[in-house]
Amino acid sequence: MKYSVWSRKVFTCLLICGTVVLFSDTLYTATIPPTTANSQIYIVGAGLAGMATAVYAIQDANIPGKNIHILEELKVAGGALDGKGGAGNIPYAARGARLIDPDAHMAYRAWLTRIPSLDDQEEMDKLVGDTEALKNYKVKKTLANELDDFWATHKLNSITRLVGKDQRRIDHYKFGLSIRDKWDLLKLISTSEDKYHDKRIDEYFQPPFFKSNFWYMFSSIFGFQQWHSLTEMRRYLRNFFQSLDTLSGLDKTGMNAKYDSYGAVVVPTVKWLRTQGVNFDMGCKVTDVDFKPTVDEKTVQKIHYIQDGIQKDITVNYDDFVFISIGSKTADSREGSMHSAPLLERNKVDGAWTLWENMSKKQPGLGNPLHFTSSIDHSKFVVFNVTTKGKLMENLILNFTKNKRMGEQHMVIFPESGWNLIVHIPWQPFVRNQDKDTTIIMAYALKGDNNGDYVKKPMGDCTGEELLTEMCYQFGFMKELPEILKTSECSPFMLPYVTSMFLPRNQYDRPPVVPDRSTNLALIGEYTEMPEDTVFMVSYSTKTAQTAVYKLLHVNKELTPTYHGMYNIWNWIKVLYWL
């Protein structure tokens, strides 16, 4: 009897000890130090996530701007929200454009309310020295107000959306979905994503689905390929559920800013941050960080970077905090010209990916960066910009699409072309100070590794002149091609990782915004994991920034909520009617 009691006690003790060892990771909670007047904030990356982090740190965590340091590898801020040229004789060049859904981009639009318009900031500049007037100045418009005002008078109206061979118009209001396709869509939307980790889209849908008008439009707007993640497609279907019935015309949803993302958002945001005293350390390539030598916590003690060819270090003190943008969809992008094709860089020359790799080798729970860089042929895109002098291109496009204004079309898709070419037609002027007789358009493709129909090459091997020629062939502008080539410049970009966040993955490949046991480190940007949210969106970047600041800097406020259109019965009625 005594032996039996003793045995049970020993067994119970061993069981408790084993449980403690087994679950010690979850039982241990790292202590995040409080912010102080001396706390320094180090932000790696001056893209949208980095800039948003600085804004939230100033406005919600009460961090003085002078205590915030943004380290950026490039000489210009903005990351993927870039844009240059477009005025005078300088051709426009950018690596992407943005379309904002009012509901799905709640976090982004909420963040835009925090930045005064450029006009307001210039008015405030005039009051410098008059402390009382500056203090009492009331902002007339924020960037969000500008977005809303522009949308009120500039709604999309895609009369010509899908174009087949020989400029044949395809009825884009007929989605061409079979009963099986509709069932598969509803099933995907309604079931848990746990079933779809590491699964490709083409492992779920039947082959005819990828010939449907629905797939042509859905994939063209968001950049999906058949080999991309089914999990990510499911999230898009759910987060844009309220807009699926407007997928054809985009006349009810789809907001554009007045100018390109750089002029409309980056320029005023950088100006506001500099006015607050934020330090922009440009040309800084952060290569590695040192962690405190312990398994009990993730504490950054030193930041290593290269500036002007000189190796430098930053010592991170106890009450300092580090926010790092991991990965980059525009890293290693290379620009071509009218007469040269852009280089495909495969060696991770830029710093974003190698920094994340170095960190993940030192600490567990920081994700798997190699997962997103090991399949460049499944993540690369060519994007090209066309800048044309005179009204020829504008008149040709308006006559082709039957729209009254440039920009109403948003995009024209050529799904039957060899490249599956997609032409984005923005509102004009697209950049600040754009010449009145200049037209700017952008284009990319989903099957760029195929040969073109007229230019018998893959997109990546084409010069700007060849890309422009193939685009004109698809529109049927061959008669006018000599004049278009004479008055146009085409700037192509090769982006090796632009859709890498869509590659099939499991739930551990992307780390949480604030990693387990972190005391002073947060990870921001599109390669962090926020359950049920959609990457490749500006809203995702701003939401990671808000999450990082609120958790790491002890901000007692609610995060901007995610709009759940799935739980609105009216949205279900619309979608079921549409199906």
Q: Is residue 271 part of a domain?
A: no
User: What per-residue confidence (pLDDT) applies to 22?
Assistant: 42
Inter-residue contact 247 to 220 (CB < 8 Å): no
> 3-class DSSP state for residue 322?
strand
Residue bearing tokens 């061993």: 14
Inter-residue contact 463 to 340 (CB < 8 Å): yes
Query: Residue 513 belongs to a domain with what CATH number?
Result: 3.50.50.60
Q: Is residue 78 part of a domain?
A: yes
The pTM assigned to this predicted structure is 0.91
Cis peptide before 342 (omega within 30 of 0): no
Query: 135 lies in which domain range?
Result: 106-152
Q: Which of 164, 159, 93, 163 is nearest to 407 (CA)?
A: 159
Q: Is residue 430 part of a domain?
A: no
Q: Is residue 459 part of a domain?
A: no
Residue 115 shares a structural domain with residue 70: no
User: What per-residue confidence (pLDDT) applies to 104?
Assistant: 86
Residue 364 shares a structural domain with residue 281: yes
Residue 82 shares a structural domain with residue 110: no
User: Nearest 5°: phi and psi at 104?
Assistant: -70, -20
* Adjacent-strand bridge partners of 44: 71, 324
Q: Is residue 362 part of a domain?
A: yes
Number of domains present in the structure of the chain: 2
Inter-residue contact 521 to 325 (CB < 8 Å): no
DSSP calls for 103-147: TTTHHHHHHHTTSB-HHHHHHHHHTTT-HHHHHH---S-BHHHHH
In eight-state DSSP terms, residue 291 is E
Can you tell me the distance from the alpha carbon of 394 to that of 397, in angstroms, rounded to the nearest whole number? Answer: 5
Residue 77 shares a structural domain with residue 135: no
Q: Is residue 94 part of a domain?
A: no
Residue 56 shares a structural domain with residue 118: no
**Sheet containing 438-445, strands listed edge to edge, beginning at the edge strand earlier in sequence:** 169-170, 162-163, 410-414, 421-425, 438-445, 381-389, 488-495, 334-335
Those residues whose C-beta lies under 8 Å from the C-beta of residue 354, and which sit 6 or more positions away, are 287, 348
Residue where one domain finishes, among candidates 117, 152, 187: 152
Q: What is the mean pLDDT of each run of 10 residues along the chain (579 residues)?
A: 49 48 48 91 97 98 97 94 85 86 90 96 90 89 95 89 93 91 93 89 96 94 94 92 80 82 96 97 96 92 96 96 96 96 93 94 94 94 95 96 92 95 95 91 96 97 98 97 96 96 91 96 96 90 97 95 82 80
Q: Is residue 254 part of a domain?
A: no
In eight-state DSSP terms, residue 490 is E
**Sheet containing 310-315, strands listed edge to edge, beginning at the edge strand earlier in sequence:** 284-291, 300-307, 310-315
Distances (CA, A) of 158 to 403, 406, 409, 413, 548: 8, 11, 4, 11, 38
Residue where one domain finishes, among candidates 132, 152, 172: 152
Residue 83 shares a structural domain with residue 110: no
